[in-house]
Structure 1
Amino acid sequence: MTRRRFFNIRSSLTVVFDDDVTAEEKNKNKIWKVALLFDSVLFGCRSQERPIHLNIDEMIVPFSGQCGIRQYCPGKPNPVCIKIFVLATPDGIVLDMLLYQRKTIFPDLIDAGYTLGEAAIICLYDTLVAGHFLYFNRYFTTVKLADVLLEKGYHRTGTMARNRILKNCLLFMKRSRGTTETKCRNDGTVNIIRWLDK
């Protein structure tokens, strides 16, 4: 090995001593051995320019090795994976992310009655200022989350699963293809639009 290559490897190598990390920190942060690398990537993501329209979604990273945060997601092309909640631009540039670490990721918000998707969005919008337009899929969309985001000054748009629509909101059941219908809450802050495309 050449001297130059040795110094390049030495300058890029980081050593974490197991005894320097307490058992409580190990339980709280499942990726404590690579936390410095993850934090440096996160710092680079958070320093990017933030446009007004943003997307929040989950990113599935295929992984088949041994890891405490590995997930099994049936129906995905690579079902064994690591799940990351991501705040991104419409072009796909990652601006912020949260690594899903099972029960240790949002203990306070889950105890307060939020779902996992709601808690992920609440944690991801902490780095934003009011006025952004947030778009997300049905995994995250609830009426409760719409109220929280409206209270904080964010605009939101998302697809919604049929079982999350309020029971007293009667939208059409049997209509022809191409039909649309809109229901608006009494205060005018939440609209539900349904269309038949099949």
Structure 2
Amino acid sequence: MYWQKKTRISVIADAMSRDMFSVIIASLKVFDESLLNAAQRKSDRFHKIRPLIDCVRSRCLELDRPQYVSVDEMIIPFTGRTHLKQFTPRKPNPHGLKIFVLASSDGQVLDFEFFQGKEDLLLNVQRTGLHLPEWGTLKIGEAAVLRFVKSVSRGTSFFFDRFFTTPKLLEILSSLGMGATGTMKKNLVPKQCRLKTENQLKRSGRGSSDCAVRDDSAFCITVWFDKKNIILASNEHSIQPVSTCQRWCKREKRHLEVERPRVVELYNSKMGGVDIIDQYDFKLEIAYSLISEEVLNDDNSESEISEEHDDISRKRTRPLPIAAKRTNSACHMPDALPPYASRTRCRYPGYTAVKSPDGPNLGQNLKVNISRTTHDTHLKICM
């Protein structure tokens, strides 16, 4: 990014070329491998960059701990050759290195763990000092959540998806004084838990729900019918208090008010922290827009503005000029089109194109209305 036109940093780009930077990165080492023996190098496959990982993680641990946190998988895009690469469907970058992330609801990374395999993950859980019966039988999802228990204070509420949610995990977190809420797979619902079927809830209408509490009150399971059954398990939330949300109805072609259980409302609002972190391209667009605003406020930025538009002019449809340049020339003055030319709607904000009732001769039926604002002048064309 330091060498791109939009985000160029002169101090770096003028000092070395991009290819030289790539050579340095390929040869850069942050750890002396001679300090580790063969067994230590084998046990930690990220030992070459472990000091860098620990440095970043230590700063994440300094952030304030909120009451609601979420745990989810994240994939770091990587196309190199390593057996640590994972494939996770329905992710923005499905191929790459997998890490488990503890995040706040607004997208702050509070802690993370690189996934090297189930055995390594279980060892990290054991190192946290948790006294768990049969900790070696934990599943990957269960171990990933328990890995972060020591990163938060007692009483924190965890949110996670169905990859992590199991009855055993809810029991463990309850015994540790932690809240837990997550979607659950249908085959993991205990058989003695008698919930209404999807057909029964469908007959009751969209937004209907049902719940069942385990005998020892360790957790409850709630089923909510939206377009289909959604099953959630929680050791602290259930149906009440009920709120409402809007859902689109295809048949009536309008939004309807639908009842929503409390557990669904909290899950939707607290679970998306890791997804916000994954919106890297969206953050880049925000950065570009902020940079463009700074360029527009600079009186000596004509060359930079032209470079920005030259960089994106290779697209099939040329984008609209920036607001500061739209009225600086005659590039948007009305032109008389030849007879029977195709009509297209003007893409500039506030403009409309209407076919003249007297025929297609635009030169004879052209009416121009000029409306002045405090910033610029718009030409509204009625044809």
Q: Name the TM-score class by shorter chain.
A: 0.7 to 0.9
State which of 44, 48, 51 in structure 1 corresponds to 2:66. Answer: 51
- Indicate whether 1:19 and 2:27 are aligned: no
Q: What is the percent sequence identity of the aligned residues?
A: 36
Give distance in 2, aligned partners of 1:42 and 1:88.
12
Q: Label 1:131 to 1:96 Cα distance change in 2 as closer, same or farther (>3 A).
A: same
* Partner-residue secondary structure (3-state), 1:171: coil
**Residue 112 in 1 paired to residue 141 in 2?**
no
Aligned residues between the structures: 189
Give the structure with higher Rg (CA).
2
- Deviation track 1:79-135 (CA, whole Å, cap 9, x = no partner) reads 311111111111010011110001442245696211000001111111222111111
Q: Check whether the contact 1:56–1:134 (CA below 8 A) recurs between aligned residues.
A: yes
Q: CA deviation at 1:27?
A: 1.4
Tell me whether 150-159 or 164-173 shows the greater mean CA deviation.
Answer: 164-173
The farther-off stretch of 39-48 and 95-104 is: 95-104
Tell me how far apart the structure 1 counterparts of residues 219 and 100 of structure 2 sit (CA, whole Å). Answer: 25
> 1:84, 1:100 within 8 Å by CA — same for their partners in 2?
yes
Any conservation in 1 of the 2:71–2:145 contact (CA below 8 Å)? yes
Using a 3 Å threshold, how does the CA distance of structure 1 residues 125 and 38 change in structure 2: closer, same or farther? same
Distance in 2 of aligned mates of 1:15 and 1:197: 51
Work out which of the residue numbers 201, 220, 223 in structure 2 matches 1:194. Answer: 223
**In the TM superposition, what is the alpha-carbon distance from 1:26 to its structure 2 partner?**
1.2
Does structure 1 conserve the Cα–Cα contact (< 8 Å) formed by 2:68 and 2:157? yes
Contact 1:61 1:83 in 2 (8 A): yes
Kept in 1, the 8 Å contact 2:30–2:49? The answer is no
**Residues 84 and 98 in structure 1, CA contact (< 8 A), matched pair in contact too:** yes
Which is worse superposed, 110-119 or 92-101? 110-119
In structure 2, the CA distance between the partners of 1:15 and 1:189, relative to structure 1 (3 Å rule), is closer
Q: Encode CA deviations 1:5-39: one digit per residue, 9 max, x unaligned.
A: 8xxx9xxx754333322111111111100000000
Match of 2:169 among 145, 168, 178: 145
Please say which of residues 165-174 and 105-114 is displaced more in the overlay: 105-114
- Cα distance in 2 for residues equivalent to 1:156 and 1:111: 19
1:71 paired to 2:86:
yes
Partner Cα separation in structure 2 for residue 14 and residue 63 of structure 1: 18
Among 185, 192, 197, the residue aligned to 2:214: 185
Instruction: Note if contact 1:131-1:155 (Cα within 8 Å) is conserved in structure 2.
Output: yes
Contact in 1 for aligned 2:30/2:52 (Cα 8 Å): no
TM-score (norm 1): 0.87
> Which portions of structure 1, spanning 4 or more consecutive aligned residues, are displaced by more than 4 angstroms?
108-111
SS at match of 1:71: strand
Decide whether aligned partners of structure 1 residues 15 and 196 sit closer, same or farther in structure 2, where only a CA change above 3 A counts. closer
Q: Distance in 1 between matches of 2:37 and 2:112?
A: 25
**Separation (CA, whole Å) in 2 of partners of 1:82 and 1:14:** 19
Whichever residue aligns with residue 212 of structure 2, its letter is: K
Maintained 8 Å contact 2:209/2:225: yes
| Gapped regions of structure 2 (runs ≥ 5) | 1-14, 16-23, 126-133, 228-383
Q: Which amino acid aligns with 2:172?
A: V
Matching residue's letter, 2:159: Y
Is the contact between residue 154 and residue 176 of structure 2 (CA under 8 Å) also seen in structure 1? yes
1:40 aligned partner, one-letter code: C
Distance 1:71 1:57 in 2: 15
State the secondary structure of the residue aligned to 1:183: strand
How well do the aligned residues superpose, as a CA RMSD in angstroms?
2.2
Offset, 1:186: 1.2
Q: Which structure carries more relative contact order (alpha carbon 8 Å, separation 6+)? A: 1
Contact persistence 1:29–1:104 (CA under 8 A): no
